[in-house]
């Protein structure tokens, strides 16, 4: 008998609790009109950034393509007249991409970066394949002022790292630790 009364009481409490939600605000975000806040580190559309001089940061090392778990990145190395590497083509198939960010972590030059943009729907599947001209942006992305070639020098006979022309002092990796 007590159990029955307890069960009935529990049902009534449920009804009252749900009825109280009449006065609570809906949790819905009306998406197309009302954009949700996305953190700057949100992993969305992938871009290729440029260094402060406006040159491509990508050195076509293929580490991103190797790191990519779904193999959606394809690129071809080529060299400019000074022997520096750059990609001849750089292609990301976004219909395969899972926005995991492995490529960004693998990139030694901060060239490939993920942005908070996620609105990439297309009616045609072919349009999901982004070529280099679609991926390249004119800015520096999340690492302003970073230039790979300025910090990538090598110590030679009389000059230590970062002392040659056009070089910045090397990054102190320990200071980056939290």
User: Which residues of the chain form contacts with other proteins (CB under 8 A)?
Assistant: 4, 11, 14-15, 17-19, 21-22, 24-28, 30
Nearest distance, CB of residue 8 and other proteins, angstroms:
10
SS3 state at 51: coil
Is 107 marked within a binding site? Answer: yes
Length of the chain in terms of residues written: 178
Count CB atoms within 10 A of the CB of residue 45. 19
Decide whether 23 or 37 has the Cβ nearer to other proteins: 23
Is 72 marked within a binding site? Answer: no
Nearest distance, CB of residue 28 and other proteins, angstroms:
5
Sheet containing 73-79, strands listed edge to edge, beginning at the edge strand earlier in sequence: 73-79, 85-93, 129-130
Decide whether 26 or 173 has the Cβ nearer to other proteins: 26
Cα 60 off chain centre by: 18
Is 64 marked within a binding site? Answer: yes
Decide whether 18 or 39 has the Cβ nearer to other proteins: 18
Nearest distance, CB of residue 119 and other proteins, angstroms:
19
* DSSP string of 58-109, one letter each residue: -----HHHHH-TT--EEEEEEE-TTS-EEEEEEEEETTT-----HHHHH-TT
User: CB–CB of 161/149 below 8 Å?
Assistant: no
Decide whether 11 or 78 has the Cβ nearer to other proteins: 11
Is 121 marked within a binding site? Answer: no
Name the binding residues for [4Fe-4S] cluster.
Answer: 58, 61, 64, 68, 97, 100, 103, 107
């Amino acid at each position: 008998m007590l159990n029955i009364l307890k069960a009935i009481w529990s049902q009534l409490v449920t009804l009252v609790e749900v009825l109280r939600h009449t006065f609570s605000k809906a949790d819905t975000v009306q998406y197309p009109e009302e954009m949700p806040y996305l953190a700057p580190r949100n992993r969305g559309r992938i871009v290729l950034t440029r260094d402060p001089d406006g040159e491509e940061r990508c050195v076509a090392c293929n580490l991103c393509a190797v790191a990519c778990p779904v193999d959606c990145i394809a690129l071809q190395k080529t060299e400019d007249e000074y022997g520096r590497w750059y990609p001849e083509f750089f292609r990301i198939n976004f219909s395969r991409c899972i926005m995991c960010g492995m490529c960004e972590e693998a990139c030694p030059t901060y060239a490939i970066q993920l942005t908070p943009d996620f609105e990439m729907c297309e009616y045609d599947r072919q349009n999901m394949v982004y070529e280099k001209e679609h991926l390249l942006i004119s800015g520096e992305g999340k690492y302003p002022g970073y230039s790979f070639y300025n910090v990538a020098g090598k110590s030679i006979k009389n000059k230590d790292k970062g002392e040659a022309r056009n070089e910045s002092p090397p990054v102190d990796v320990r200071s980056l630790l939290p």
